Chains A and B, each alone.
Chain A
């Protein structure tokens, strides 16, 4: 639901960097969005068209890298892929999991003209 304000952030950050580089247009924006970030990539894409209108980012391609959620089980020391809802180790049922990746929500790279 807050993808609109996040997408406004994306556009602001991208424009700030593009202006610093005296770019005439932003061709693409690469994002990393983790499975545990709470961000729905489709909603970002939807909001992007609205947020980028009449800016340097209008028409830019959004490249979204989805990062799967990984955790390390503190009990059986196995690395496991998490789904969204269960937070116990599928192998030993332990609840003591250290999240290794999946919370990412970053703007990684810009391609500018």
Chain B
């Protein structure tokens, strides 16, 4: 460390061509710490714990109203005999979503973020404490409905799954590229409504691949059931890989 100014550089010239300014008596210290370092450390702890329990963990992200909870309800009802699920529900307020999930008989925990716009690894690490992870196959984390902030916060999941419904614009992947780049799978929901809308599904898929060439895409409707089998096959594959 430079003893003159306290900066991290081992030695440097302290003459007229000084490359940084000092206020009188002040000194500089180098930090170089990532602002998400703490979250990333906790996410790594979560990921290790989930792997030890052979859990398949998904972080469901979307804008509000895309149908995340409805997809979960249908999925849990259809697959409850096949896999042991646990669900973490993230919302700013209310237990409404947790009540809907609880009605399917699956263990659920609601996390209210209050003013917060996303779940973080710390909340998830404590949130799962009430579940018996050793008998759980799939942990579904339904994030706060928000296409911006949850993209930056790793929770320790295997995959982020972005849900986009056809009642939204097909250009959502371009408007919120971070989220669609962070996701490994995109579910295009509410396809039963396509005949009534001017939603160009091929264009939507092209936009998603423009920001993330490797993204997998499944078109489905949790209302009509169309396409749900493809989603279930994808889950089946993930569970087998986690075991």
A92 nearest CB across to chain B (Å): 14
Pair B146/A95 contact, Cβ less than 8 Å:
no
B171 nearest CB across to chain A (Å): 9
Which residue of A has the minimal Cβ distance to B120? A5
Pair A108/B152 contact, Cβ less than 8 Å:
no
A91 proximal to B (CB < 8 A):
no
A67 proximal to B (CB < 8 A):
no
B121 nearest CB across to chain A (Å): 12
B32: chain A residues within 8 A (beta carbon): 106-109
A1: chain B residues within 8 A (beta carbon): 117, 146, 148-149
A9: chain B residues within 8 A (beta carbon): 35-36, 38
Pair B211/A106 contact, Cβ less than 8 Å:
no
Pair A110/B210 contact, Cβ less than 8 Å:
no
Pair A10/B117 contact, Cβ less than 8 Å:
no
Among B30, B146, B149, B209, the residue within 8 A (CB) of A108 is: B30
Pair B29/A95 contact, Cβ less than 8 Å:
no
- For the complex, what is the distance from the CA of A87 to the CA of B177, rounded to whole Å? 9
Most B Cβ at <10 Å: residue of A13, A95, A110, A111: A111
Contact indicator per residue, chain A 88-105, by CB within 8 Å of chain B (1) or not (0): 100000011000000001
Pair B30/A38 contact, Cβ less than 8 Å:
no
User: Given A38-B152, A95-B210, are A105 and B34 neighbors across the interface (CB < 8 Å)?
Assistant: yes
Pair A95/B27 contact, Cβ less than 8 Å:
no
- For the complex, what is the distance from the CA of A4 to the CA of B118, rounded to whole Å? 12
Pair B34/A106 contact, Cβ less than 8 Å:
yes
Pair B33/A2 contact, Cβ less than 8 Å:
no
A36: chain B residues within 8 A (beta carbon): 178
- For the complex, what is the distance from the CA of A1 to the CA of B147, rounded to whole Å? 11
Interface size on B, residues (CB 8 A): 38
- For the complex, what is the distance from the CA of A37 to the CA of B35, rounded to whole Å? 11
Q: Could you name 27 residue pairs across A and B whose Cβ atoms are closer than 8 Å? A: A1-B148, A2-B117, A2-B153, A5-B116, A5-B120, A6-B36, A9-B38, A14-B31, A17-B29, A21-B6, A21-B27, A21-B29, A38-B148, A38-B152, A84-B177, A87-B210, A95-B210, A106-B33, A107-B35, A108-B32, A109-B7, A109-B30, A110-B31, A111-B23, A112-B27, A112-B28, A113-B25
Interface size band for A: 20 to 34
Among A6, A85, A86, A109, the residue within 8 A (CB) of B31 is: A109
Contact indicator per residue, chain A 8-22, by CB within 8 Å of chain B (1) or not (0): 011001100100010
A84: chain B residues within 8 A (beta carbon): 177
A6: chain B residues within 8 A (beta carbon): 35-36
A96: chain B residues within 8 A (beta carbon): 213
B210 nearest CB across to chain A (Å): 6
Most A Cβ at <10 Å: residue of B30, B153, B212: B30
A62 proximal to B (CB < 8 A):
no
A27 proximal to B (CB < 8 A):
yes
- For the complex, what is the distance from the CA of A86 to the CA of B181, rounded to whole Å? 12
B61 proximal to A (CB < 8 A):
no
Pair A95/B26 contact, Cβ less than 8 Å:
no
Pair A85/B177 contact, Cβ less than 8 Å:
yes
B14 nearest CB across to chain A (Å): 16
Which residue of B has the minimal Cβ distance to A40? B148
A86: chain B residues within 8 A (beta carbon): 174, 210
Q: Which of B184-225 contact A (CB under 8 A)?
A: 209-213
